[in-house]
Structure 1
Amino acid sequence: MSSTSESGSTRRGTVLVSGGAGFIGTAIAPALADAFEHVVAVDNLHPQIHPSAARPADLDARVDLRVGDVTDPGTWDAVLAEVRPDVVVHLAAETGTGQSLAEASRHAMVNVVGTTQMLDALLRHEALPARVVLTSSRAVYGEGAWRRPDGSLFYPGQRTSAILEAGQWDFPGAEPVAMAADVVSPAPVSVYGATKLAQEHVLASWAQSVGVEPVTLRLQNVYGPGQSLINPYTGIMSLFCRLAKAGRSIPLYEDGEVRRDFVLIDDVARAVVAAALADAPGTAPIDIGSGEQQTIARAAELIAAHYGAPAPHVTGQFRQGDVRHAWADVSHARDAIGWTPELGLEAGVARLASWIDTQPGVSI
């Protein structure tokens, strides 16, 4: 189903967005509302993200928000009794790497069972969409692949407690390589990463059995305006900003040389919308990042400079489940969905910090 808007552009039918009131959901809402006749968001407004349990003020007014839990079949029955999605964007997930170690059941319930409940309900209500877009994570790669001096790749696996306690941060005699689905095989080292990989496998096997097109985006470290400032598990960039804003020195784990791919929400939102609308994205996972790699020290230095805070300091601390280095090769995204990143770290830090400076009651 499609219609023609006043501007003459053709609008598609209905898009259903799970987790549609969250960080990414609110960011993609305007573009989806421009592209589709009907945008339905399903979200449980979890207090870890939404302390007031109210509709987010920045959620596009054109979005039809249905409050419910993706793990509850009754939620899906109520929604799908009325909604026939042409495209599903599946964002709903528990995302804390460290938190997942202590709350494995919660992460498995939301990420895996929440997905299977949705898929079961789509079949039960004979409401199969043409496409399901899944936002997965770079966490599925774990430590990823590393290259020996002779050019061969190997998978070092998880850094154990003994390795980390000895301060052996890197793998001697080897260099990490960019994460790319056609080169690096998944090997998660966190409960969160394991649940996201299970989510990918469940969707792929289900979708290709019932004639639905699965599109999987493996996101790197997403940050930017609109992210939760009360959730301690949603990334280090907002934490760094809050520390520096308070005039404190930012602590750097390990030796500060951990490499990350910090990708701004603006670019991620464009990628998700592109995946929903692309003509032929294919079924191979698509890596989404900034197109550059940065150390956490560099990110902290930029943030400290913005606030005039003391220089960051190395603590030697570490966190179980964290990987040493992670960044994406985004070349496949250009071919699959016509997307390339546009904003680098300096511009992203400026946007994030400027937004945080407008938020009331920001504290650490």
Structure 2
Amino acid sequence: MWDKPNVLYNIASLFQERCPYPPPIESSRTMTPISAPSSERVADARRRRLTRISAALACPRCGGALDRSESALRCEGCAADYPVRDGRIYFVDVPARTDDFDRIKGWMKRVFGRAYYTVGITLLAPTFPINFARVVTRLVDPAAQLIVDAGSGNNTLHPDIVAIDLFDYDAVDIVCRLEALPFRSDTIDAIVSRSVLEHVADPARVVGEFHRCTKRGGLGIHMIPFLFPVHASPADYHRFTPEGHAVLFREWTAVSRTNPTGPVTVILLYMIEVVATILGFGVARLRSLVYLVLCGISFPIKFLDVVFVNRKAFMSLAASILSVVRKAPE
């Protein structure tokens, strides 16, 4: 019996073979897609990840060391308590969702799990597919290094990558705010994010936290929208040009900056936005429904972008830009 989500994902991934990054490094662990892991497997994997990263944890309020019990972590400095539920650490309370489209996306992430990303995002969404997990594992070895996926959503990039998010999706290991990361300085080998930094009010502060927590010589791998329509989920604040990336990551050394999407994606995105807005007649929920239907109808068009991605000449026409940066060794 073939696994439909994974087969569709692999088909879509064929369009992203022309990758400008270094060849895959040798890893001590084979990355195996997991379509429907058992609750026991999920719990075991989370325990393993949190055990690996436990020495790097610190109080996000004062930076103090943490004492762990079965039900909570307590800061030795300020005595703050952080509950542990279902093996997941909560450094903040999960906020309520207030945006209709965000509620729909949140519900879909929980109901469909990994298929939301392998089928919903990679195949049906109007953006050219990028195998972000492959990009990450070409540059770092999650089995041997501490890697954090910031703003992971309900997605597991790799069984050994620690997932953090403001919402407690099943795939999330640590619930926290990106503006105050619960890690000691210079302890993480790489922090990665995909379409996250536009959703934080102060991206410079968040990138500053990434820099603080990353080891010297460590990497940052971040994909951020550029010519992309506003998509409040739950909020959308920023867009960054190529020069904007240089300013945002000015404390880092640029390794590469590429366009994982091209002008076809940009045109398709805005066409869907315009038609959904017109046919939504000012009703937010109807507009969201029309948007999803249009995505399902028009998604094959995005694959025409294959001739434009990862080409410097089309950087100014990219829906998103991918920056790989390195923290100075000394």
Global fold match (TM > 0.5): no
TM-score in terms of structure 1 length: 0.27
Q: Which has the higher contact order (CA 8 A, sep 6+)?
A: 2
TM-score norm. by structure 2 comes to: 0.29
